[in-house]
Structure 1
Amino acid sequence: MDLQQAIIFFLLATMLIAIFGTRLTKAADQLADITGMGEAMFGAIFLGSITSLPGIITSVVAAGNNHPQLAISNAIGGIAAQTFFLSIADITYKRVNLEHAAASLTNLMQGALLICLLAIVIMSAFGPEIDWMGVHPFSILMIVVYVVGSRMISKAQKSPMWSPRITLQTVQDKPEEQNQKLSLTKVGIKFTIYALLVAGSGYMVGYTGIQIAEQSPLSDGLVGTLMTAVATSLPELIVSVAAVRQGALTLAVGNIIGGNSFDVLFVSISDFAYTPGSILHTATNEQFLIIGATILMTGILLLGMLHREKKGFGKIGWESLMIILVYLLVNALLVY
């Protein structure tokens, strides 16, 4: 397809992601109550991974078509965009700072896990250029760390050694009686259908993103960071804002932070799809700038969740303001 067609289909796929991503929210909240997993854990493991499907498909398609920078920038750029979207969700919640109201041990641990995974990406890129059948050993290590970290978080949720102080503004995760009466099978089927539709739209975003990168003067890194990453992250924005409006605050934060940890695995899986060698060896300064900014934004978010300011500038937390500024700055540097 030519550039004009690619842009049209890119926008169409983005719109479909927004539509079907919205419908995931209600089903996810219902499943969290029916299964008894809780919003934070369900948001981090299931909803976070489901809303990440467009991004992972985009990165794999890009890597398989020999566009490694697009694959990496889409993965890491998506994490930065989603953290930025959490600040947008904070703006929509007027009562108090979102990170204060949705304080959760699970979300704090997910943020720490994300920083560990991003550190592995940096270590692998600057370490010796080794690979096994075209795959870097650290790509496998990232998957192992994610699985072990997720199990650790699950155990900590069941027997917590730390818990946030409950205030009048804290919105605790309590199952709704009306949700617990719903059929697990019916809700699960709806959730699965919406997930497949989101995934299909994600494939179209990845394919058209490659066409735009090949036919426009923009670099793969810029297309990945500014276009495909933002487009494939729309489900996280839509789901989180919708969850905030429904009062499912822990689900909203867990979806973003848990999804971010899962998104680092895009790089690992793309490494398997990239045949010339390890995709980690192709990272450029653009990707390292994005990774550094993402670590900074995550650190600010964790500090904000621990500090738990009730209200700050513009009725949002100081951490949300700083995250917005860092995100805009890094994108300005990339364009410059």
Structure 2
Amino acid sequence: MLALVIGVAGTRITRIVDQLADRTGIGEAAAGAILLGATTSIGGSVLSVTAAWNGNAELAVSNALGGIAVQTFFLALADISYRHANLEHAAASVPNMMQNALLMILLAFILLAPLLPSVTLWGVHPVTPLLFISYVVGLRMVQNAHKAPMWRPKHTHDTREDEPDDVDLMPSMARLSAEFAVLFVILGMAGYLLESAATVIASRTGMTQTVVGILLTAISTSTPELVTSIAAVRRGALTLAVGGIIGGNAFDTLFTAASDIAYREGSIYHTITDSTLMWVCLTLLMTAILMMGLLRRERKGPAGIGLESVLIIVLYFFGVWLLLAQL
């Protein structure tokens, strides 16, 4: 039921963010990262922080990092739903590539953290502020890339650029902001309630919190990314669709940082299991493949989608198989 609430609220918020992008002039890629990515991820963020506060570090981290993997997989599904051309070709933009590079940097920090000494200051590991600072600086660079790009992808007849709609036909800024705030609260509350349900599932089924986090809560809290990306594709907002997924992934890395602050027993990075680290490596690999897809811009690939999407789907199911094989 909670997953359904997250899905419905996430679908509606896509239209609002698309209109806010046009009203504010920040562009679809930046709106996808800042508004859509962060808002559709709020359920997972609340779940991870709540789990960390309750001492369930394994659930907190696996939910955060598992969500990044499944959302990258969702982008491949969005590519399947767009039949005109490879989505990475049609939605190629400098801001989206900048966001993808930012995500790779943040994932590298998380992979590095468990290898560093387990020292904390007021219970917070030094990597945590680095994640927040890198994210903020990266978003500024994404916004600058939208306003004054130093180069542009080659335009083809399959390329769909960010074209603002007529703002005179849209609801007022006040109404859009109010609807955005209400849906934000709904998504956050759903994530809060889902944490207790996930803990019960793990205890009653005997599954580890890593399995529950990656295969259950990460998918449930990431449902908005799936429905919003497909909804954005159908609206023709391709840059928003890709930017929402990549921006949401970058924001999801901050789940781990926020969970480290909430976790009072030391560095949460040093509680990351080998299974979760494996998923981080797979996610970094999928992200690098996506970056190559945005640069290569293949028009058509196997089964009418990009080769990158095929590889991402294969890698995701390979990770699921490895995780289930450990049960």
**TM band (smaller chain):** over 0.9
Does residue 259 of structure 1 match 2:248? yes
State the 1:214 CA deviation: 2.1
State the 1:265 CA deviation: 0.5
Does residue 59 of structure 1 match 2:48? yes
Task: Find the aligned partners of 1:179 and 1:318 in 2 and give their Cα distance.
Answer: 40
Q: Is the 8 A contact 2:26 2:143 kept in 1?
A: no
Aligned to 2:38: 49
Task: Find the aligned partners of 2:160 and 2:129 in 1 and give their Cα distance.
Answer: 38
Task: Find the aligned partners of 1:223 and 1:333 in 2 and give their Cα distance.
Answer: 14
**Quick one: which amino acid aligns to residue 295 of structure 2?**
L
Seen in structure 2, the aligned counterparts of structure 1 residues 289 and 179 have a Cα distance that, compared at 3 Å, is farther
**Quick one: which amino acid aligns to residue 61 of structure 1?**
T
* Secondary structure of 1:264's aligned partner: helix
Task: Find the aligned partners of 2:265 and 2:187 in 1 and give their Cα distance.
Answer: 30
Aligned to 1:28: 17
State the 1:17 CA deviation: 0.5
Aligned to 1:176: 165
Q: What count of residue pairs does the alignment treat as equivalent?
A: 325
Does residue 120 of structure 1 match 2:120? no
State the 1:215 CA deviation: 2.1
Aligned to 1:285: 274
Aligned to 1:209: 198
**Quick one: which amino acid aligns to residue 67 of structure 1?**
N
Q: Is the 8 A contact 1:171 1:249 kept in 2?
A: yes
Does residue 146 of structure 1 match 2:123? no
Aligned to 1:15: 4
Q: Is the 8 A contact 1:131 1:137 kept in 2?
A: yes
Q: Is the 8 A contact 1:30 1:179 kept in 2?
A: no
Question: Which runs of no fewer than 5 residues in structure 2 stay unpaired?
Answer: none
Identify which of 114, 119, 140 aligns with 1:130.
119
**Quick one: which amino acid aligns to residue 312 of structure 1?**
G
Residues 154-163 or 46-55, more deviating: 154-163
Task: Find the aligned partners of 1:331 and 1:282 in 2 and give their Cα distance.
Answer: 21
Residues 104-113 or 204-213, more deviating: 204-213
Equivalent positions of 1:233-248 (< 5 A) are 233-248=222-237
Aligned to 2:293: 304
Render the CA deviation track for 1:263-315: whole Å, top value 9, x for unaligned: 00000000011111110111110111010000000000000110000011111
Seen in structure 2, the aligned counterparts of structure 1 residues 179 and 277 have a Cα distance that, compared at 3 Å, is farther
Aligned to 1:7: none
Task: Find the aligned partners of 1:147 and 1:26 in 2 and give their Cα distance.
Answer: 25
Aligned to 2:174: 185
State the 1:181 CA deviation: 4.7
Seen in structure 2, the aligned counterparts of structure 1 residues 178 and 155 have a Cα distance that, compared at 3 Å, is closer
Identity of aligned residues (%): 47
Equivalent positions of 1:102-117 (< 5 A) are 102-117=91-106
Does residue 276 of structure 1 match 2:265? yes
Q: Is the 8 A contact 2:229 2:241 kept in 1?
A: yes
**Quick one: which amino acid aligns to residue 74 of structure 1?**
N
**Quick one: which amino acid aligns to residue 46 of structure 2?**
I
Residues 211-220 or 85-94, more deviating: 211-220
Question: Which runs of no fewer than 5 residues in structure 1 stay unpaired?
Answer: 1-11
Render the CA deviation track for 1:152-211: whole Å, top value 9, x for unaligned: 221122111121111000011110115665311111111111111111111111221112
* Secondary structure of 2:55's aligned partner: coil
Task: Find the aligned partners of 2:262 and 2:119 in 1 and give their Cα distance.
Answer: 17
Task: Find the aligned partners of 1:30 and 1:150 in 2 and give their Cα distance.
Answer: 20
Task: Find the aligned partners of 2:48 and 2:200 in 1 and give their Cα distance.
Answer: 14
Task: Find the aligned partners of 1:138 and 1:178 in 2 and give their Cα distance.
Answer: 42
Task: Find the aligned partners of 1:262 and 1:179 in 2 and give their Cα distance.
Answer: 31
* Secondary structure of 2:152's aligned partner: coil
Identify which of 209, 221, 242 aligns with 2:210.
221
Task: Find the aligned partners of 1:66 and 1:260 in 2 and give their Cα distance.
Answer: 24
State the 1:229 CA deviation: 0.3
Task: Find the aligned partners of 1:77 and 1:291 in 2 and give their Cα distance.
Answer: 8
**Quick one: which amino acid aligns to residue 170 of structure 1?**
T
State the 1:108 CA deviation: 0.4
**Quick one: which amino acid aligns to residue 191 of structure 2?**
G
TM-score when scaled to structure 1?
0.95
Aligned to 2:221: 232
Seen in structure 2, the aligned counterparts of structure 1 residues 253 and 124 have a Cα distance that, compared at 3 Å, is same
* Secondary structure of 1:110's aligned partner: helix
Task: Find the aligned partners of 1:158 and 1:224 in 2 and give their Cα distance.
Answer: 38
TM-score when scaled to structure 2?
0.97
Q: Is the 8 A contact 1:102 1:253 kept in 2?
A: yes
Task: Find the aligned partners of 2:168 and 2:176 in 1 and give their Cα distance.
Answer: 10
Seen in structure 2, the aligned counterparts of structure 1 residues 229 and 179 have a Cα distance that, compared at 3 Å, is farther
Runs of 4 or more off by more than 3 Å in structure 1? 178-182
